[in-house]
Structure 1
């Protein structure tokens, strides 16, 4: 199957929002920052994966990761490499992520992310609703990768 990566554009807003919501992930703010989202489409222009990077100060927070079960691990790696490249193009210093899944932590360690102790999370990240809400969960892990 053929897949294509691209930065989301204005006309992608509805289908990207629908894809994220169908997976049970919050779509809040997506349409206002489409150029911060990498999406993967199949040969029929259907979204099969996406990930965004929310700008917070000079850093970014990975969010709204949704991956179709059709994709192989190589596709997921390409998606992450693309969002990292996007964050570098947007001059972000660090990429942060928040997760409550151990499998995600293990995968992100392989991708070069490091675990951040919760009391060491930079204060400016608390301006993000995504971070504020995620830190309420007792199983939350915050990770960072320097760009």
Structure 2
């Protein structure tokens, strides 16, 4: 009961449940926008109608993922202090968790990193799709 009380007080300080919902929508929408507008660099394995605002799984380059680029994504993000982006052990890939304690600013930091990573590695992914003649 004590811990629940602390969480309720924290929620009130954040602006209440309505503000928390707005933040949740803003954070998840920003990440999904990068995925959906990446031209296929990032791929969401979840149908748009079934997506979670809390846990956002995604792959790089194709539905089954690109192991090399996903590993590099995790390594580079960890160097910037973004941890736990590795996907669930049963599914793999990547997963951005937008828990209530994750701030809008932190979600925006992830979004900037995702865009930067995509720009730096897009050609590498495209090279792999070219047919060998």
Band of TM-score, shorter chain = under 0.3
Larger Rg: 2
Query: What is the TM-score normalised by the length of structure 2?
Result: 0.25
Which structure dedicates a bigger proportion of its chain to helix? 2
Instruction: Work out which structure has the larger RCO, using CA pairs closer than 8 Å and 6 or more positions apart in sequence.
Output: 2
